[in-house]
Each structure stands twice: as structure tokens, then as C-alpha cells.
Amino acid sequence: MEISSGGCSPRNRKDGSPLRQGLEFELSDCDRNNQSQSMNALDILRETVRILRFNSWGFMTITLVLICPVSAVLLSNVLVDVSIVKNLCVRLMLVAQTSGLPLRPIIRQSCQRFAETVISSAMCFPLYATLLLLSKTAVVYSVDCTYSRKKFDASKFCVIVAKFWRKILRTYMLVCTVIVGCVTMFCVFLVAFCSALAVLGFSPDVVEYCAMMVGLVFSVVFANAIIIGNIAMVITVLEDVSGAQAMLRSSVLIKGQTQVGLLIFLGSTIGMAFVEGLFEHRVQTLSYGDGSSRVWEGPLLVIMYSFVVLIDSMMSAVFYFSCRSSNAGALDAQGNSIMETLAYSSETMGIQ
């Protein structure tokens, strides 16, 4: 079977050889003079779909076994205590009011949503640090196997997880710390900034508009932190670096391609928010009929959300290869693939 594409695989551009294993990724429209150019967001999405079609059963297994349980718990809010969410929401609205923000519906909804997100993330963190992190590792390994023209080796993947899980978990904890730090700094700065405007005598409307501008700036910073964290996780799996080194390498690797990462983040965020909204209105809130459709709508939306998470992880891996291919000259001497370092250790451990 053969699939033609208008773009080209980043590994193909780097290695100069097509990927063939029951499937061929063609380089028909790739000129040698443009091999060092990076892929845009649409090219990365197309490449992700081709990889998904090439190893659909493997990725679907990862989705059903590792991602779906996390998605079901996250969407259903089974672990979330409503009373804690209400208390936190009330406290946030009090802080907003004392800092000079008017308690309009948008402020109330923002406080409610922020409280739900914080409590849900805290309660689901054990699942994030186990099943979801394991799924990201499996996705990255599967993408690397596809580009390396190798079959997914479950035994070798188990070796990777057993040998490098501490490094992967260390990087993930650092990424979470950076994200929490960004959110904390935003909240402190927002309260201080709005309080200063209120003391200077600005009207509540002006304070609200300024707060929205600060929120827009923060969203860009937050998105960049997420992108760097995602690429750092890929680097930890595929290269012999972890923790702060992986974060630093990630920030260097995506230089000049931040816009592509932002588009990927925006698409994934919109997709997840859309499915979350559907689940909230069609399953959690009974707004029509007798509720019998929940029996099939709930699992369907969980699968849809899990699929979006899968695509997001795959696109992060493809984005890494795209960035690396565009910086091949500067990066070839740095960091070896873990799959290469395991070539000898696998033999000594009796893994064939």
C-alpha cells in the first residue's frame, strides 16, 4: 500500500531515505534544497495522520488501555469534591472583588472554571503521573519506531520504562512545577496589578479590560511553557538527557518555530475544550429527554477526548523530529537515541 503526500517526513528529509514497512511515505514534492526547512502545523498534522494510519492498531491500543481511563475520570469529575470547588470559587471571587474587579458573569465563570481546573488537576495528578505519562512515552516510542523503520517491540519498550522511568518522571515533575509556577506568578501579578489600578482611581471597567489584556499575555506565556514541556518529555524519552537539561534543550530546539508550536497547542486546546463542553452539556447536565442517550454518548465522548489527547502527543513527537531535522547540523553531535543505547543492554538482558 502506498500513500502519496504533498509534504515530507522530517526523518526522511534528514536521512534521505523513504520509510517502507508495508507503507511508503513519499518525498515527491520535497526538493533537496529545501530539506532543512521545518514543517508547518498543517504538515505536522498530515504527517501525524500518516503515522496513525501506518500503526493504527498500536496507537488505538495505547488509547484504549492508557488514555481512556484517565479521560473517563477527568471528564466525569468522579474524584472532584463539589464543596471544595465551591469554597475555592468563593475565595477567588472575594480576592477578585477586593482587587478592584467587578463581579460580572465573566469574572464569576472564570473563577468557577479556574477552581474546577485546579481541584481536578490536583485530584487526577496520580493518574497523570502514571497512566497518562506512560501513554506519552509509548506514543513517542511508537513514532520513533515508525521513523526508524522498526516494529513496535513491547519487550524493549518495557526495558525503556524500567530503566528510564525515573528520568521521565523527573522531567514530568519539573514540567508540572514550571506550569504551576507560571500560574502562581500570573495570579499574584494579576491581583497586584488590579489592586494598583484600583488604588490609582481607575474605574472597574478599566481594571477589567486591563486584566483581560494581562490574561492574553499570560496565555501566550503559558502556551510556550506547555510547548517546551511537551518537547522536553519527547527529548527525555528519545535522548540521554532529562530534567532541566531536557527543558533547556527543548527551548533551544524550538527556536524560530514557536508559531508552529502555538498553532498545535491552540488546535489541541480547542479540541479538548469542545469535547469537554459536549460532555458537560450532554452527559453531566440533563437538559433534554429522559437521559437514556447518556449510555452511549458518555463513552463516545470519552473516546473522542482520548483521541484528541493521542493526536496531541503524536504531534508533539512529530514536531520534535521536524525541529531536529531543521537543526540537524547543530544537533547531530548531541544526545543519542535511547533505542540505540539499548541495543547492547537488550541483548545482555536476553531480549530478542
Instruction: Identify the pLDDT of residue 122.
Output: 92
Residue 25 lies in a domain: no
Residue 33 lies in a domain: no
Residue 21 lies in a domain: no
Closest residue by Cα to residue 172 from 102, 232, 101: 232
What is the total count of domains within the chain? Answer: 1
How far is 193 from 207, CA to CA, in rounded Å? 9
Closest residue by Cα to residue 342 from 134, 164, 98: 164
C-alpha cell at 109: 465563570
How far is 214 from 159, CA to CA, in rounded Å? 46
Instruction: Identify the pLDDT of residue 233.
Output: 94
The helix/strand/coil state of 24 is strand
Residue 14 lies in a domain: no
Closest residue by Cα to residue 113 from 284, 273, 282: 273
Q: For residues 67 and 309, is the Cβ–Cβ distance under 8 A?
A: yes
- Per residue of the chain (352 residues), what is the pLDDT tens digit? 333 344 445 554 444 433 433 344 433 343 333 334 567 889 999 999 999 988 888 899 999 999 999 999 999 888 888 899 999 999 999 998 888 888 888 889 989 999 999 999 999 999 999 999 999 999 999 999 888 888 777 788 888 788 889 999 999 999 999 999 999 999 999 999 999 998 888 888 898 899 999 999 999 999 999 999 999 999 999 888 888 999 999 999 988 888 999 999 999 999 999 999 888 887 877 655 556 667 778 889 999 999 999 999 999 999 999 888 877 644 444 444 444 444 434 444 444 4
Question: In Å, what is the CA distance from 13 to each residue of 86, 323, 324?
Answer: 53, 12, 11
Closest residue by Cα to residue 147 from 229, 25, 252, 49: 25
- 158 is in which domain, residue-wise? 42-348
DSSP 131-176: IIHHHHHHHHHHHHHHHTT----HHHHHHHHHHHHHHHHHHHHHHH
Cα-to-chain-centroid distance, residue 245: 19
Residue 29 lies in a domain: no
DSSP 8-state secondary structure symbol assigned to residue 212 = H
Count other Cβ atoms within 10 Å, centred on residue 18: 15
The helix/strand/coil state of 225 is helix
Residue 336 lies in a domain: yes
The helix/strand/coil state of 130 is helix
Q: What is the value of pTM for the model shown?
A: 0.81
How far is 88 from 274, CA to CA, in rounded Å? 25
C-alpha cell at 246: 531536557
Residue 299 lies in a domain: yes
How far is 223 from 232, CA to CA, in rounded Å? 14
How far is 204 from 149, CA to CA, in rounded Å? 60
How far is 349 from 298, CA to CA, in rounded Å? 44
Residue 13 lies in a domain: no
Instruction: Identify the pLDDT of residue 1.
Output: 36
The helix/strand/coil state of 289 is coil
Count other Cβ atoms within 10 Å, centred on residue 108: 14
Classify residue 335 as left (phi > 0), alpha (psi -120 to 50) or beta: left
